[in-house]
């Protein structure tokens, strides 16, 4: 198939593009490089530099590529920033996404895979989080993704656009060639590994008094190669569907730090800070539905294997993509 990948120069998109090419698909990447990196795009993919907020640019790109399906990774994804500037999130994650859907409908492209997030669930009162869990986001980022999920339903009803919304939990790890280099890094594993590399003095632990065994927050880390595999399987889905995507395992902040020390062989200095508002104690996915319906299962179940792949990439790319 020919897949148009928006945000294919970003962290998760770059690995999906690599895996799509490896499984024999043809890929066109559409990215404005606001957050992504030119050198994160596999040489086998065609890169179109453009902004989804420019309706004519995405319309021309879809008309020219005539893809069989679209994978939509492009978005802004910083929770804290979304609380300061909700407009940016609704414009880029909702309005720009509608430009993309319209370009697809205009060109008869009716298969869509969407990067949604566990942030659509807010502060769930039951664990693990399955597809029946109420979606009550607590920040504009999560709300923007939930609004887009709802929009997708209507593009299916009205235009027959079939979509798969994959709600990722915490994406982590790297492939051989592509890894995590966000311009503003808020994710725990790369930030801890930067301390191991001597690029940061310490890592903050936000909250040590949560009702968890070691007092720190617990998250469900999923390897990006497993995420990429779910996207490739979703291409076969004839029906629209929404899936939660995690391993079902939980790792605390302290456990991640200990794992990074083990894997890197370096001590990590930590600074214990107060809780951040809006951080749930635990977020763990129930992924039975995606396992049953798409035949997906995570290959990376151990946090050591996930962190090892990230460490290998950071050691080989100490300055990330260098741009």
Ligand X SMILES: NC(=O)c1ccc[n+]([C@@H]2O[C@H](COP(=O)([O-])OP(=O)(O)OC[C@H]3O[C@@H](n4cnc5c(N)ncnc54)[C@H](O)[C@@H]3O)[C@@H](O)[C@H]2O)c1
- Residues forming the site for ligand X (CB under 6 A): 6-7, 9-13, 31-36, 51-53, 73-75, 77, 92, 96, 115, 117, 168, 170-171, 182
Distance CA 72, CA 115 (A): 6
CB of 115 to ligand X, least distance (A): 4
Q: Is 141 a catalytic residue?
A: yes
CB of 105 to ligand X, least distance (A): 19
Nearer to ligand X, 53 or 312 (CB): 53
CB of 8 to ligand X, least distance (A): 7
What DSSP line would sit under 265-299, residue for residue?
-----EEEEPPPTT--SEE-B--HHHHHHH----S
- Comparing CA positions, the residue from 3, 229, 21, 233 lying closest to residue 109 is 3
CB of 170 to ligand X, least distance (A): 5
Nearer to ligand X, 136 or 215 (CB): 136
Q: HSE on the CB side for 295, CA within 13 Å?
A: 6
Nearer to ligand X, 5 or 203 (CB): 5
- Comparing CA positions, the residue from 114, 225, 124, 229 lying closest to residue 180 is 225
Nearer to ligand X, 7 or 128 (CB): 7
- Per the listing, tokens 């942030």 go with 119
CB of 37 to ligand X, least distance (A): 7
Q: Which of 11, 89, 141, 243 is catalytic?
A: 141
Spell out the SS3 assignment of 73-131: CCCCCCHHHHHHCHHHHHHHHHHHHHHHHHHHHHCCCCEEEEEEEHHHHCCCCCCCECC
Nearer to ligand X, 34 or 302 (CB): 34
Residues recognised as catalytic: 141
């Amino acid at each position: 198939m020919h897949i148009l990948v928006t945000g294919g120069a970003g962290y998760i998109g770059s690995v999906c593009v690599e895996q799509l090419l490896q499984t024999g698909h043809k890929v066109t990447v559409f990215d404005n490089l606001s957050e992504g990196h030119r050198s994160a795009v596999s040489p086998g993919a065609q890169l179109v530099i453009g902004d989804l907020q420019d309706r004519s640019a995405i319309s021309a790109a879809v008309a020219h590529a005539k893809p069989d399906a679209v994978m939509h990774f492009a978005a802004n994804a910083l929770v804290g920033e979304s609380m300061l500037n909700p407009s940016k999130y609704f414009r880029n994650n909702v309005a720009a996404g509608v430009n993309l859907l319209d370009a697809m409908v205009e060109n008869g492209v009716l298969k869509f895979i969407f990067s949604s997030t566990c942030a659509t669930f807010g502060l769930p009162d039951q664990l693990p989080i399955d597809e029946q869990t109420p979606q009550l986001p607590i920040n504009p980022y999560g709300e923007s993704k939930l609004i887009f999920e709802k929009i997708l339903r209507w593009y299916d009803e009205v235009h027959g656009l079939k979509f798969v919304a994959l709600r990722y939990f915490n994406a982590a790890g790297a492939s051989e060639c592509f890894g995590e280099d966000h311009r503003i890094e808020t994710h725990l594993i790369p930030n801890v590994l930067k301390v191991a590399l001597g690029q940061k003095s310490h890592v903050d632990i936000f909250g040590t008094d949560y009702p968890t065994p070691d007092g720190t927050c617990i998250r469900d880390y999923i390897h990006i190669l497993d995420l990429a595999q779910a996207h490739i399987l979703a291409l076969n889905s004839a029906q629209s569907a929404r899936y939660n995507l995690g391993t079902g395992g939980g790792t605390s902040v302290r456990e991640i730090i200990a794992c990074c020390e083990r894997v890197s062989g370096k001590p990590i200095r930590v600074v214990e800070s107060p809780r951040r508002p809006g951080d749930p104690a635990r977020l763990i996915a129930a992924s039975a539905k995606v396992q049953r319906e798409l035949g997906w299962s995570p290959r990376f179940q151990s946090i050591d294997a996930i962190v090892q792949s990230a460490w290998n990439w950071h050691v080989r790319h100490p300055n990330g993509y260098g741009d």
